Amino acid sequence: MLANLEWVEPIQPRPWSSRRNYRILKRVMDFGLSAILLPFAVVLGAVIALAIWVNSPGPALYVQYRTGRGGQRFRMLKFRTMVSNAEQLKANYAHLNVLSWPDFKLAQDPRVTKVGQFLRRTSLDELPQLINVLRGEMSLVGPRPTSFEAGTYSLWHTQRLEVLPGITGLWQVSGRADLDFNRRVELDIAYLERQSLGLDIQILFRTFSAVLSGRGAY
């Protein structure tokens, strides 16, 4: 499963106190980095919002319910990358889905706007999720929250719900949208078994490389 991830350390059992300290330090890192980045994100976000509106009139922000820790649903924020009536058009393109159910992904989604293509390729559409991190609904690093509910999961999938979902994670630096849900969950579980601040920092740095390469982003 980790054949192409030699940089990920093997599983190392950690005492409960060490895991508790990690969770505290992780929250401090999440809050601190998000607070530092937020002023820059607001300025950049204003430019992005204007570009979205000019290209496709409608709300710049897209709010979608996602599945978080413990299977709880929360309102995740994104910049809108599709036409404003994208949900109504979804059924028209179900036959073009490139991933297995319950995932839905089109290789060349006609609902995506020109500005949206750029935002997806650069992952700038995820920028508003810094607010979700500050609220404590998400982490910078963790399993990516799904749009479908936990009731859709197989039992082994539910392991990924033990922690806060992340803006980025192990599978984002290992294929991004090219991976089906089962493969993504395998990588989520591998991450959960090896969680550490060092691994989180590595994933953050590798996320920048994955974004710059554009691999698996559409």
Least confident of 21-25, 76-80, 171-175: 171-175
What token pair was written down for 39? 């002023």
Least confident of 59-73, 85-99, 182-196: 85-99
Mean of all residue pLDDT scores within the chain: 87
Q: Which pLDDT band, with edges at 50, 70 and 90, does 209 fall under?
A: confident
pLDDT at 1 over 60: no
**Model confidence over 140-155: pLDDT tens digits?**
999 999 999 999 999 9
Q: Which pLDDT band, with edges at 50, 70 and 90, does 15 fall under?
A: low
This prediction's pTM: 0.85
Q: What is the pLDDT of residue 43?
A: 97
**Model confidence over 37-77: pLDDT tens digits?**
999 999 999 999 999 999 999 999 999 999 999 999 999 99
Mean pLDDT, rounded, for 162-176: 87
The single-letter DSSP state of residue 145 is P
